[in-house]
Amino acid sequence: MRHITTPMASEVHMEEAGDVIVLSSNNYLGLADQHEVVDAGKRGLDRYGAGTASVRFICGTFDVHRTLERRIASFLGTESALTYVSCWNANTGLFPTICDEGSAIVSDELNHASIIDGVRLASKARRERFRHGDMQDLEAKLQALGDAFPIVVATDGVFSMEGDLAKLPEIVALAKRYGAIVVVDDSHGTGVMGKTGRGTVEHFGLTGEVDVITGTLGKSLCGAAGGFIAASRALVDTMIQRSRPQLFSNALPATVACSALAAIEYLDAHPELATRLRENVAYFRTGLTRIGYRPLDGQSAIVPIIVGETAFAIAMSDKLLKRGVFVTGFGYPVVPEGTARIRVQMNAKLTREEMDRALAAFEAVGKDVGLLG
C-alpha cells in the first residue's frame, strides 16, 4: 500500500516517496479535488448528515439520491437509473436478478472481475465466454443458444488492462439479429470517451441503442465511490425490488451523491475537459513512442506498456516512483503470466511540464532496466 497525504490530483504527496506525478489513478478528468465537487460534498454532509443508517426500502432515501439517479439517466440517454455503493455491487446485483433458469449470458473473456463474479452468481443461467473482441466467436455462441431467454451479451466499454474499446456497433447489431440484450460496463469510458464525455456508447453514436449501462461514480465522476445501473424504467424497477445488493446495502452516502451530481454538472458545463484529456493521451503516447516504447494501441485514457514478467513490472514501477512518477505495474493473476505491464492512466489536468518530467523518468528507467537502447 502507498500512503497519500494530500487530495488526489495530478501531483500528490506520498509518505514513501515525497511529491510525485500520478499516472495510476482513475481520476481521468481531475475532478476528485475540483472545488465545486468538493464543496458540493461538504454541503451534502451539512444538510443530510453522515448517511441513511439503513437500507433504502426500510428507512427511506434522501431526495439527492433521486436527483442524482434522474441526472445519470438524462446524462446517458436512458429512461431511468439506480445508484449502488459501488459498480461492483451494481454488476453483481444485475446478472442474477435478470438471468434465471432458461436464460443465457455471453461475456467477453477479458471483462472486469465484477462482471465475471456477477455472471457466476447467475448460477441457473447458461454461461458462455467469447474470445476478446472476436465477433465471429460471439456470433457462433449466440447461434448455439437456441431458445434461451433472455440472452444477455455482457462487455466492458473500455477494457481496463488493455485500454481498448468493445466493438459496440458489431455487438449491438448481433444482439438485434439474435434477440439479445446488451449490457455495457462503461466504468473506464464514462467521462473519457465520446465528444461530451458520455462514454463509449456516445463515442460510437449508439445513444439509446444499448439496453443496460453500468458504471461507477468512483473514477471520472467525483472519484469517491458509488456505482449505477442505467436502463429502462421497467428494468430499474425490477432491480429496486429484487437486486440483493440494493435491498441489503445502505444507500450511497449523501456526500458522495452530492459530489457525483456536481461532477456531472461540471462535466456538462466544461466539455473541453474530455477534449483536453484526449490531447494529453495523444501527447503522452507520442512521447512514449519517441523514446522507444511500444504501448498497446487504444483510444482510451489507459496506455499499457507490456514489459514481460510480474517481478520486472513491479521493479520498474518502483524505479519510476523513485524518480517521482507514481504508476503501477500489473502482473499475474491480474493479467496472464508473461504479459505483465506498466499501466499509464492519463488525467485531463496534467500539464505539459508534468508529462515531460514523467517521460524523462520513463526514458531513464527504460534504459536502466534494458527496455530501451
Q: What does DSSP say about strands 80-84 and 227-231: parallel, antiparallel, or unpaired?
A: antiparallel
- Beta bridge partners of residue 345, listed in sequence order: 302
| pLDDT tens readout for residues 229-269 | 999 999 999 999 999 999 999 999 999 999 999 999 999 99
> 10: Cβ–Cβ under 8 A, 6 or more apart, which residues?
21, 22, 30, 347, 349, 350, 351, 354
Residues of the chain with CATH 3.40.640.10: 35-269
Q: Is the pLDDT of residue 373 over 90?
A: no
Instruction: Output phi, psi for 356, to 5 deg.
Output: -65, -40
| pLDDT tens readout for residues 287-309 | 999 999 999 999 999 999 999 99
86 is a catalytic site residue: no
How far apart are the C-alpha atoms of 105 and 13, rounded to whole Å?
44
| pLDDT tens readout for residues 28-40 | 999 999 999 999 9
42 is a catalytic site residue: no
249 is a catalytic site residue: no
Using CA atoms of 277, 281, 286, 287 in order, give the dihedral in degrees to the nearest 10. Answer: 90
| pLDDT above 70 coverage of the chain, percent | 100
Mean local confidence (pLDDT), 202-216: 98
Residues of the chain with CATH 3.90.1150.10: 11-28+271-369
At residue 307, the 3 state secondary structure works out as strand
What mean pLDDT is reported for the chain? 97
Q: Which of 112, 188, 203, 349 is catalytic?
A: 188
Q: Which of 24, 160, 243, 317 is catalytic?
A: 160
What does CATH list as the number for 35-269? Answer: 3.40.640.10
Mean local confidence (pLDDT), 15-39: 97
| pLDDT tens readout for residues 91-148 | 999 999 999 999 999 999 999 999 999 999 999 999 999 999 999 999 999 999 989 9
- Label residue 72 by pLDDT band (50, 70, 90): very high
Q: Which of 114, 219, 259, 300 is catalytic?
A: 219
Mean local confidence (pLDDT), 179-193: 97
Q: In what order do the strands lie in the sheet with 340-345?
A: 302-308, 340-345, 328-330
> What amino acid occupies position 47?
R
What does CATH list as the number for 11-28+271-369? Answer: 3.90.1150.10
